[in-house]
Amino acid sequence: MSRFAFLPLSWRDLTDEELLSLAAGMDGLPAGDLLKPSHSRTGLQDSAGELPLLRQSRELSPGEESRLPFLEPGYLYEGNRQDRDPEEGPALFRLSPEEEKEFFAVLPAEDMSGDGLLRYLDAVYGNMPNSYWIPLEGELAYEELPGVLEEAADRFQLGAPPLPPYLALLVPMDGLTEEPRDPSRDYWMVTLLYPSGSQYAVSLRADTGELSAWVRWPQGFYMDGGASASPAASSGAARSEEELQASVAAYAAEVFPQSGGVLSIRGEDGEVPSPYFGPCRRFTLELEDGTSLLLTAAKQDGSLCAMTVLQTP
């Protein structure tokens, strides 16, 4: 018979009698062995500071991990919280009588369904104020993202139209605290799921909608939890330093046409390994108008893998 023992993890140690009682419930296991990983299920997830705390009985399975991001935006921004089976999902237990925000979640042994994962999101977000996740006044609303993303994808050459399915979460740059948020430091993290070609993780400033960074991944990376390595990672002659610099300079000139051109290019020390695109090189570019960029290019074909806007005029 399988059992869970709920221990006072956060406010006191077990007494000798409690340890012996626990050991007796675990087939007489010696007290010193109780906390060995092979015999214990401890908290696997939590939040810091004054925020709600959730510990859970097991890690999410790969299937649950891959499905959860597709449910999260609808849960947070579209009110997708109805018609759930109350028998699905985790059972919640309060960890401390003094701490109303701390819970332990016992997850079903089998993979959770869509309803179960929505109830799991209830456990994760249910005790957090909406202000942690909902855009503030003056910030880009979830409903405004399509138009902003279409413009950004076209300007920064992130894939052919139309705009693909995407996942979006508002992320406070200062983390989740009970201090008032600063809209100028929040950003939208958006994953563009192009059905063919590369996929992109895009960062947009929440107050202006300006793109501040993007990272490219192979097709299927976000949808199936992994992707095969690019052929460029293992075949073909590597591009020279001059060719790589020409590639990043041409991209910078195209996406910042009003900058006045590239003032300087500096290669960062060493290579950046990538399991998908092979060895990469990073370059810092200074543009005539004061814009500063960090661009990463694959050495095998010169294609761009990432961009970060370091400074704007």
Q: Is the pLDDT of residue 215 over 60?
A: yes
Q: What pLDDT is attached to residue 2?
A: 47
Q: Is the pLDDT of residue 210 over 90?
A: yes
| Structure-block tokens of residue 208 | 């202006």
- What is the distance between the alpha carbons of residues 165 and 42, in angstroms, rounded to a whole number? 37
Q: Is the pLDDT of residue 128 over 60?
A: yes
Average pLDDT over every residue of 259-272: 92
Q: What pLDDT is attached to residue 132?
A: 78
Q: What pLDDT is attached to residue 161?
A: 93
Q: What pLDDT is attached to residue 1?
A: 38
In 3D, which of 41, 39, 44 has the Cα closest to residue 28? 39
- What is the distance between the alpha carbons of residues 109 and 291, in angstroms, rounded to a whole number? 52
What does the mean pLDDT of the chain come to?
A: 81
User: What's the pLDDT tens digit per position in 8-44?
Assistant: 555 567 777 777 666 666 665 565 565 554 544 444 4
Q: What pLDDT is attached to residue 125?
A: 81
- What is the distance between the alpha carbons of residues 110 and 133, in angstroms, rounded to a whole number? 29
| Structure-block tokens of residue 83 | 């018609």
Q: Is the pLDDT of residue 185 over 60?
A: yes
Q: What pLDDT is attached to residue 49?
A: 42
**131 compared with 256, residue with greater pLDDT:** 256
- Written in H, E and C, the secondary structure of 29-87 is CCHHHCCCCCCCCCCCCCCCCCCCEEEECCCCCHHHHHHHHHHHHHHHHCCCCCCCCCC
Q: Is the pLDDT of residue 250 over 90?
A: yes
CA 196 to mean position of chain CA atoms: 22
**220 compared with 100, residue with greater pLDDT:** 220
pTM over 0.95: no
Q: What pLDDT is attached to residue 47?
A: 44
Q: List 199's β-bridge partners, or say none.
A: 217
pLDDT category at 51 given cuts 50, 70, 90 is: very low
Task: Please report, rounded to a whole number, the percentage of residues in the chain having pLDDT higher than 90.
Answer: 43
- What is the distance between the alpha carbons of residues 201 and 215, in angstroms, rounded to a whole number? 5
Q: What pLDDT is attached to residue 192?
A: 96
User: What's the pLDDT tens digit per position in 69-112?
Assistant: 999 999 999 988 756 566 677 887 776 666 666 667 888 888 99
Say if residues 297 and 303 touch (Cβ distance below 8 Å).
yes
Q: Is the pLDDT of residue 57 over 70?
A: yes
Q: What pLDDT is attached to residue 191?
A: 95
Q: Is the pLDDT of residue 157 over 70?
A: yes
- What is the distance between the alpha carbons of residues 159 and 197, in angstroms, rounded to a whole number? 8
Q: Is the pLDDT of residue 165 over 70?
A: yes
| Structure-block tokens of residue 198 | 């590369």
